[in-house]
Amino acid sequence: MKKQRCIVKIINISRQGEVKHFQVRIPENATVITGIETAVRMKGLVSISNNSFVVPNIGPGMGNPPVSDFSPNPFGSDLAIPVMRSLVGELKLQSCEEANIFYATDITDPSAQENLEKVPTPSAIIENVWTHGYKRELEEVLINGNTTMLAGLYKDKLGAMQGRDATYDVFLYVWYKLENKKQ
């Protein structure tokens, strides 16, 4: 029987447009890499809309306050900044045994609430990612586990688009299968 295990890699980002190269060591007993999961956890400034910035103050049932409550855009309200609200950065992975990248994704912040369906609920209940969020799914890949490590690259987009430093952690989870010792 093959068991699944997960490797966690945390990438700390603190400067605008920061590019980080990293490596994920794959254990010797890994036979195949089966899936990738990603997540992001904000530490500082969060983008709420194209012309607003806010440090979130989230309490029970509060949801997002009106946009007018936020501090103004430091670039001035006339300047249109093409910001995809939830985009945080981009991540690419390459196996050391193979040419080219095998996995690339946009890292998005689900708490920006872009994808929430507005299900009919009483008006007192505000849709939030932690009440109405979708179930997160593993992204399946099939990479030979013989590789000793994965090489990765992460590039910040959030801070670059906002023109200021953004502080957050990107979590990368690499799922792999290993042979059970009994076999």
CB of 125 to another protein, least distance (A): 9
Place of tokens 């200021």: 164
Q: CB pairs under 8 A, 24+ apart, for 144-148?
A: 144/32, 144/33, 144/95, 144/97, 144/98, 145/26, 145/30, 145/31, 145/32, 145/33, 145/176, 145/177, 145/178, 146/97, 147/26, 147/33, 147/95, 147/96, 147/97, 147/98, 148/25, 148/26, 148/96
Q: Is the CB of 103 or the CB of 176 nearer to another protein? A: 176
- Nearer Cβ to another protein (98/136): 136
User: Which of 6/67 has CB closer to another protein?
Assistant: 6
CB of 99 to another protein, least distance (A): 30
Residue 54 Cβ, how far from another protein at the closest point, in Å? 10
Backbone phi, psi, residue 9, to 5°: -125, 125
**Judged by CB, which is closer to another protein: 58, or 79?**
58
For another protein, which is the closer residue by CB, 19 or 55? 55
How far is it, in rounded angstroms, from Cα 19 to Cα 91? 10
Q: How far is the CB of 111 from another protein (least distance, A)?
A: 8
Residues that bind another protein (CB under 8 A): 3, 5-8, 10, 37, 39, 41-44, 46, 55-60, 110-111, 116-117, 119, 128-136, 171, 173
Residue owning tokens 């920006």: 112
| Minimum gap (Å) between residue 135 Cβ and another protein | 4
